[in-house]
Each structure stands twice: as structure tokens, then as C-alpha cells.
Amino acid sequence: MTKSSTKAQARCKHCGSRFPARSALDNHLSRQRACLEAAKAEFRSLQQTHLLPNSDTPDTSTYFEPSLFDEPFIPINEGTSASSDTSNTKRKRSYATTIEEIEDEEACTSNKHSNHYIEHRNQPEILADKQKTPFERLREQFQAAHLPDHGPWTDLGEFSMVEWLIKSGVSQADIDSFLKLEKVKGLGLPYGGKRSLLNIIDQLPKGAGWKYTPLTVHGDVIGEGETRTLDEVVEVWHRDPVEVVRELVGDPTFEGHIKWSAQKVYRDKTRTCRSFSEMNTGEWWWELQGTLPSGATLCPLIISSDETKLTVLSGDKAAWPVYLTIGNIDKDIRRKSSSHATVLIGYLPVTKLECFSESRRGMEINRLFHDAMSIILAPLVEAGKAGVDMVCSDGKVRKLFLVLAAYIADYPEQALVGCHKQNSCPNCKVDPKQRGSEPTPSVWRTPEEVLEALNQKAQGDGAMLTALHLNPITPFWTHFPHCNIYRALTPDIHHQLHKGVFHDHLVKWCTCACLGDQSSKAERERELDDRYRALPLHSSLRHFKKGISATQQWTGKEFKAMEKTFLGILAGAVDARVIRTAKGALDFIFYAQFEEHTTETLERMDRAWCQFHEHKDIFISLGQRAHFNINKIHNIKHYIDHIRARGTADGYNSEATERLHIDYAKLGYRASNKRDYVPQMVKWLERRTAVLRFRKYLNWMAGPGGSEEEEATSDADEEEDEKDDEMIDHMDESKADDAINHCLDSSSTVTTPKRPHYSGLTVRSVEEDFHAPWLLHFTEEFLRQEGRPVQSALTEDDSIEVHNQLVVHLPALRQHSTDPTTDVVHASKQVPARATKTGYRGEVAERFDTVLIRSDAQLRMAGHSSVADIQVARVQVIFELPQSLGSYPEPLAYVSLFKPLKKPVPDLEMYQLSWLSKKFNHQPYRAATVIPVSRIIRTCHLIPEFGSRIPRSWKPHTSLDSAPTAYLNPYLRFRDFLLFRHLLPRHIAQNLDSAEAPPAKRQKK
């Protein structure tokens, strides 16, 4: 019997046309305006029955109307599952701790924990196997209304234009003017102005709705001509945080990037070397998971808030956004603003509360903060106690217990959240006068004793409140289950380390210690400015052309740029004890930014901070400080405890929060009329969220790698200076050699531009302009060593092709990031000043970058390197062999050589280098050689030894040649810090110890 087959067809129900496939129907709807409008009308009528249910919010709140395209909340029945039998089986299952061994790195390339041993906590219960995610339901609604996959838009190009108009932050007047341009009218768009366009946008799904709740504040000031005290009404704008979490966990674009259970990750089978990275690898999640009901899923909430100015230069307009994300989502996803994994959930009222006297005003503003936060976060209390059933990104239903796990804030806001005074620690009960003591153990604050102190104060006894340095305010977190707010106040790398410890304190102290007591402040600042100006250039470094004292606007980028060279800048200008103190602080700052820690790296981190404390009294001796009772200095002692509890500190950096202010506050304010702006900002944000949400839907529809428009470029500027920070690898000390091999991965590739930058240069001119006097000699020597027959002799008058740069493509290091990075090597000659058609161009100095190269020994060993195979060199020329000498598979580089690495110098613990010299006819010359570019590992950075005072004539392109020695900079990038601060020093020390040890006696058989 034969089976007949018919080709699948799709039919337009509005005109009756038939099409061979759904995609053809979509194209038809895109072109036929009448059918498209009919489909939209049908869809709108279909959606009338799917409005969000009424909330039991008080009548004092006002809601925005829900969108016609908004997904209705589909309640999940208690017993819903794929099968009642399997559901019962799951409920009776015992959740024993299990060990997962992941050894085969090739088979687990997508797993961050390759070569790790993972111990799992109780696995969460799946209440239902497969439910539709919001995007799947939206697609079905479009199909039911016979709309194309791109919904109400004519095509994807139209939506991209609308997306740009909304995201750019232009005003509604500008949008209206744009749509009324004759050229735009000619596109035949279904809207001729802003109003009709915004009506369409308002029909898109936009997630949890906004509402406002008014608060009446009763003051103590009697109004002029009145007999009663003044009142002030403020508005709290907010969204339901439970529904926001529902959107986050149900976002299918996060599938594969969400953790549902606690893990203990180890580096070895004996489980002695533990690893900490994501929040679920910390001890807090592991311990709390054991206290929840069997099968429960923990959803750690990360809240952040920060007041920000909206006006520039003048005006006092401000906003106070509150953000929410969840610790289940991978931290590298949370950090990217383009992923929209951190969501705005409210605006706190910004007011001066002039209804209060000045003596009470500050305390009442703090009280208002807690009252407003109580309103915003109120739904979380029950959600943390009873749990909420939610459809997750993988389509499975889990019962999530929403628990406040971390609060990201700068120090003043930490004090505000913790209700303690600003001269005390937000985490522990240390005496404010003992904050500068050695990093000894201290007693943590607990919510229970704080609430007891508040209770005693209410009864008239304020002794306990005073002893704990608390303010008499009822905190918003009083009834939050499983929440210890004082453990949740996480480290803040940006404000505490980069801005606080480094810039506000260490830089000032070290500057005052520069050049001795006889020098003036101006002389010290000029000395450091001259040193920064004379530093050799590098692509990963900001060059302070005018020094650092003239910098007016300091941001995180400037702080981090200074940190990379600060220790080398100080060398020779300050006391050795100042060097040791600065080194301890800088090492700690770099350790704190590790994206994965082990028990060993945490020990080294603690050792670095102890070094700072051991030598910091030098600043008291020099008269720079009378004490170290400084909050930002003390709070750092808690970093290691926080990392062990909740994962590495990069997941809680307030720098990411400040970046969100642009999208969620400043752009919305600019799009408003600047009067009564908060409601306008909320409406603008609703529309922006709807557009961004629809873009995520389109990207999801397109599948991996097939999205019409990627938003990752929006993060490029903010992450450009940190792309190497994501490449760090932390190795077990017992595998030092393997770690060096991996850090110097031979799988890196080198590329040069397709066309040479300099064409037709003679060998003679190259030798002169590029400072490569032995180019001809070493090129011929290289060819002889390669065993290549020279078809004709190379002369000084022959022409060669020269590149001005090459690019080293570095692979991602294991256990951390999957993203590779690039490293540019420059070798360019001086360009004199000249007049051009576009104006006068100043002189461009020559630039020759320093690099790490592989020795011949390493080349013969095919990538199995050791420290003896690493050499520092400076690239003078990157050139192609002329055809007359035969073909060679890759370009060559003429490099000047430095002496081999030895033990780091004391105090600085940097490698000191000088030029390698040889003699020819009894005349010394700088050693050089010609190598294939594939032997270049990557760039490095050398800091000249400036001595006690830098000669004023030194420039960035001459300082290395003028200085007697230079220091190899270990702070250039994180992969350099790993190699030069850990792996090489340990390896060299081990080799020296074994070389000096007497030979072992042979045992007789």
C-alpha cells in the first residue's frame, strides 16, 4: 500500500491566498497591508481576554494599563507534572550529596570547571517537565492571529528603525520630526507621527507593570501663618519584584547560563583545594539549601541602589534607582548591560524633606529610605517563606524561594541599609577606633541583636543601640526570611579598592613620601607627572600625557590605568618600606578582581593584605597619617569571607550599577520635558523595555548566532580595558610547570595586515629609520640557520616590504573565560611634522613594543615550555623576505634582546632587565636577532628605572634606551600578573633551590 503525501500549505484567512510554507505566508503579510491590518485587529480582539488579573494593591496605587500583547500569568496547579506517578516518585526521592568528576577537558570545553571535582547539594525538584516560556507563548499568539513572526511590524528593517529611535533617547518631538520627513514618508510606514508609532509600541509585551504609592511624611516645622506642622507627600514608583524575577528565570535566552543548585568545586580528588567563582559555589548557598524544604530551589536576589544626578553642570535634579538581578544567572551575563539581566524595579523618592528641622532632616531622610524600600520589596517576604512556582528558562517548573542574598552599594548607602553610623563597619562590630588595627578576626553583626537594640530603644533603653553604633530606624529587611543583611553587604571593588584604598589614600600617601622631606608638594607632583609622561606606550595602558596631577575627572578607567604602573613609578623615589606597603595593597587589589579563586589564591590574597598592614606604619613615621581608622581600609579585611560565602567579588561590583544609570535614569530624563519627570521616565522606560524585550524575542526566534542585531557592542567601551581581566587562570601549586605552559599557550596565532604599511623601503633606510643596524647580517644568518639556499645575496639597496604592526591572537585560558583576545605589537618609525590638505599634523614619535619570545629550545620542544625558554625583546622591524631570497611561510621580525630573567629584585619583586650586549671587533653592540613572528608569545611592558629623580629629557620612545635597567611590569594585565607574580617566581625559586642543594646519595641496591 502506498502512502500519499501532500505538501504542507499555509493559508491567509483574510484574502484566501494559499502558500507552500509558513515563511511564505509571513512574506505575504509583510507586503499586503490590508491583510496585515486585519490580522492585527483580530489579534487585539483576541488579547482582550488576556489582561493581567487585578492586584490586591492598596487603592492609593495607580497602575499603567497592561499591554495588549502582555503575557497572561498562567497559574500552575500544585500537582501539575508530566505524570502523576513520576511526580510522586520525585517527591519521595532522597536528595543525597553526590560527587561529579569532570576530567576530560576536551569533552567538557563548555564547562568552566574542567579538571574540577564537583560535589552537588540537594537537587531541586521539577514540578512539571515542560511548560511554554513567554517567548513560546508570544509566538503562538502571533500564529493564532496570522501575524508573521515579527508581529505588528511590516518587516525586521522597520522594527530596527523603531528600536533605534527608542534606544537613542531622542525626544518625542524629534521622533515626530523624523517621521514627518519626506524621505521617511516615502517608506509607506503605517504611522505618520509619534502618536501612532507610540500606540503600536504600547501594545508590545513589556513585562511587570509600574505603579506608584504615595507616602505622606509628617514634619515638625510649623508653616508660616499656620498652626500645624507641615506635611509632604512623596511618590514611590515600583514594580512587583516577584514578577520581575519570574521574567528573569523564564527568559529562554538565559538557558544554559542559570544555576539551580549549590555546588562545592574542588581542584583535586582529595578535595583539599576548593574553588570559588559563581554564587552557587559559595558556602552561603550550600548551607541555606540544606535548611529549605526538600526539593526547593533557592533564588538569591541581588539588590542594588545608588542615587545619581540627572543634570549636568547645573541643577539639582536626581534619581534614586533600585535594581534587581538573581544570583542564579552567571555573573559574566549579569555584568553585561546588553544582556538585560539586571532590571530596574523602582525609584526611591529624592527629597530634601524641608518639612523637618535641620537637626532631624538627615535622620528622617534615612527613615524615608527604609519606608520606601519596604513598599518596593514587600512581596518578597511571602515569596521567601512559602516559595513561588515559576516556569524557568528551560521550560521546567520549579518552586523558587526568593531570598535577599546580596546588596550592592557604596559605603554611605551600606551604612544607610544597615542602619549604622558612618564611622563604623557595615559588617562587624569592631570599635571605630580600632578599624586600623591588624587584620584580626572580629565579631559579625547579626539582625537579631540589631532588632533587639531597636526594641530596647523603643522601651526607653538606648544603651545597646549606642554600643552597636546604630540609628533608631526600623529597617526594611526586618521580616525578610533567611536574610542576614550584614553578610549580604558585599565588597565593592570600584569604590572601596580602586577609588578608596588606591586613589584616595595610597596615591596621596606615596606622593607625600616621594623625594624626601625637603621637597615641596609641587616638586613631588611634578616628579610623578614626569615619570608617567615618560612611560613607554602600550596598547593596554592609558598614557597620561600631562601626568596625573592635572587630571580633573577621575573614573574607574583612570584608577585602573594608574594601578598598572604605580609600583614601578615609585621605584627609586620612595623608601623601601613604602614600596613594600604599596606592593601589598596593589597585589590585594589585583587578587580581589580574580574571577575564580582557590583556597591557595585566597591565602596569597590574605598574605598581600598582611604585608600592607606589616609596613603601613611608615606613613605614620613620615607624618602622613596619625592612624588608619578608615572605613575603606578596614572593610577590606572581610573580602575573603565574602568570597568564600558568595563567590568572587567581580559579581558584586558597583561599577556595573553605575553603568545602568545611563539606560535607566539619564536617558529617560533627557527624553522628558524636565518637569514632573519621574512619571515620564517610567513611561519612557516602559516603551524602551518593550522594544528591548521584543528584540530579545526576535533574537531567540533567529536562534544562536542568527540574530538580526546583536547588542554586545553596547558593552564594548565599558569592557575594552577589562577584556584581559576575563582571561585569568588559577593553577594548583603542585602543577607549576604545566601552569606556565598553559599561561604561555603555544596555540596562539600571529597575523599581519594583508598589505604592508611601508612599501619599497631599502634595507639601508630600514636599518637607519627603525634602529636595526644589523638587519642585513642577521637576516642572512637566519636563512643559513634555517638551511635555506639563498638564491641571490641581499644588499643594502634592495627593497623590502615592512609592516607597522602585527596581531597576536591569544586563546582564552582554562577555567575562566571562553573569549579569546588580541594583542597588538607595534613597530613604526618616526613621522615628521607636515602640512596636509586637512591641516597641520604634528610629529609622530617612533614606537617599538617589547614582547616575550620563545627561544629556539622551546620551538624544538613543540610548545612544551619552561621559564628558561622565555626571553624579553623589543621588536624593531616586521618585514617580508624579498622574492629574490625565496619564499618563507611567514613574516620575520628583527628584535633587540634583553638579558635573561633572573630572580625578582627585593621589595618590588619585579624582574630587572638590561640590554644584552655583544662585541664585534672588540666593539660592544646591542644584541639582536631575526626570528619568525610565530615565536612572539605576546607583548609585555617595561618600566624604566628612573632613579631618585627622572631626567627631564626622557620621553616615552627614548626612556628604555636611556635608562640603565628596566622592570618587567607584572600589573599590565591579569595574565601578566598571574605569570610574573606567581608562576615564574615560584618556578625560578624551585630551580635555584634544587641547583644549590647537594646531590642526593645513591642508595645501594
According to the model, what pLDDT value does residue 978 have? Answer: 87
Query: Does 184 fall in a domain?
Result: no
Beta-carbon count within 10 A of 20 CB:
11
The runs of H, that is alpha helices, within 616-735 are 618-621, 631-635, 639-646, 654-661, 667-670, 677-702, 716-719
d(CA 353, CA 358): 9
Strands 936-939, 850-854: parallel, antiparallel or unpaired by DSSP?
A: antiparallel
628 and 773 fall within a common domain: no
* Domain identity same for 42 and 92: no
Residue 518: which residues within 8 A CB-CB, separation 6 or more? none
Within a domain: 438: no
Q: Are 301 and 402 within 8 A, CB to CB?
A: yes
Do residues 423 and 469 lie in contact, with contact meaning Cβ atoms separated by under 8 Å?
yes
pTM of the model: 0.85
The domain of 46 spans 7-50
Return the higher-pLDDT residue of 893 and 228. Answer: 893
pLDDT of residue 48: 47
Domain boundary among 671, 704, 737: 704
- 428 in any annotated domain: no
**Cell numbers at residue 835, please?**
602640512
Least confident of 489-493, 717-721, 909-913: 717-721
Show the cell assigned to 734. Answer: 603542585
Q: Find all residues with CB under 8 Å of 718, minimum gap 6, and list them.
A: 337, 659
Q: Are residues 240 and 302 in the same domain?
A: yes
* Residue that the C-alpha cell 539639582 belongs to: 316
590 and 505 part of one domain: yes
pLDDT in tens, 726-744: 333 333 344 555 666 666 6
Q: What is the pLDDT, as a whole number, of residue 164?
A: 92
User: How far apart (Å, rounded) are the C-alpha atoms in residues 627 and 436?
Assistant: 7
What digits encode the pLDDT tens for the residues 267-316? Answer: 888 899 999 999 999 999 999 999 999 999 999 999 999 999 998 767 78
Confidence of residue 197 (pLDDT cuts 50, 70, 90): very high
Mean pLDDT of 355-372: 95
Residue 350 within any structural domain of the chain: yes
Kindly state the average pLDDT of the residues 519-547.
93
Q: Mean pLDDT over residues 237-264, rounded? A: 95
Mean per-residue pLDDT for 631-644?
92
As a whole number of angstroms, the distance between CA 409 and CA 414 comes to 6
Q: Are residues 634 and 659 in the same domain?
A: no
pLDDT of 757 above 80: yes
pLDDT at site 442: 81
Calculate the average pLDDT of the chain.
83
Is 185 part of a structural domain of the chain?
no
Dihedral pair phi/psi, residue 714, rounded to 5°: -65, -20
Beta strands in 869-926 (DSSP E): 870-880, 892-897, 911-913, 917-920, 923-926
At residue 321, φ and ψ (nearest 5 deg) are -75, 150
**How many other CB atoms sit within 10 Å of the CB of residue 797?**
9
The total of structural domains in the chain comes to 4
pLDDT (tens digit, 9 = 90+) per residue, 416-431?
Answer: 999 999 889 999 999 8
pLDDT range class, residue 244, cuts 50, 70, 90:
very high
Question: In sequence order, what are the beta bridge partners of 897?
Answer: 873
Do the domain assignments include residue 820?
Answer: yes
Residues 700 and 815 in one domain: no
> Which parts of 217-290 fold into alpha helices (H)?
241-249, 283-289
Do residues 491 and 592 make contact, with C-beta atoms less than 8 angstroms apart?
yes
The per-residue pLDDT for 971 is 96
Count H helices and E strands in the chain, helices first: 37, 35
Cβ-based neighbours of 379, under 8 Å, separated by 6 or more = 240, 241, 242
Backbone angles phi, psi at 344, to 5 degrees: -75, 130
Please report the pLDDT score of residue 109 as a whole number.
32
Can you say whether residue 316 is alpha, beta or left, with left for phi > 0 and alpha for psi between -120 and 50 degrees? alpha
Is 827 within 8 Å of 877 (Cβ atoms)? yes
Of 421-430, 720-729, 829-838, least confident by mean pLDDT is 720-729
Residue 372 has pLDDT above 50, yes or no: yes
Beta bridge partners of 390: 398
Q: Which of 568-582, 619-633, 912-926 is the most confident on average?
A: 568-582
- Which is more confident, 873 or 706? 873
Q: Are 444 and 433 in contact (CB under 8 A)?
A: no
598 and 531 in a common domain? yes
User: Domain check: are 126 and 268 in the same one?
Assistant: yes
Residue 862 has pLDDT above 50, yes or no: no
Question: Do residue 669 and residue 609 come from a single domain?
Answer: no
Q: Quote the Cα angle for 991-992-994, to 5°.
A: 65
Diameter of the chain by CA atoms? 110
Closest CA to 479 of 348, 382, 577: 382
- DSSP annotation of 499 reads I
pLDDT exceeds cutoff 60 at 49: no
Q: For residue 503, what is its C-alpha cell? A: 586613589
- Identify the residue whose cell numbers are 616638586: 523
Last residue of one domain, picked from the residues 646, 669, 695? 646
Q: Are residues 561 and 477 in the same domain?
A: no
* 857 belongs to a structural domain: yes
- Give me the DSSP letters along 265-319: EESSTTS-SEEE-SGGGSHHHHHHHTTSPTT-EEEEEEEEE--EE-SSSS---EE
Contact 511, 525 (CB under 8 A): yes
Q: Of 598, 619, 646, which one is at a domain's C-terminal end?
A: 646
Q: How confident is the model at residue 550 (pLDDT cuts 50, 70, 90)?
A: confident
Is residue 1004, in this structure, part of any structural domain at all? no
Cα separation, 228 vs 176, in Å, equals 49
Same domain? For 512 and 527 the reply is: yes
Say yes or no: 639 and 769 in one domain: no
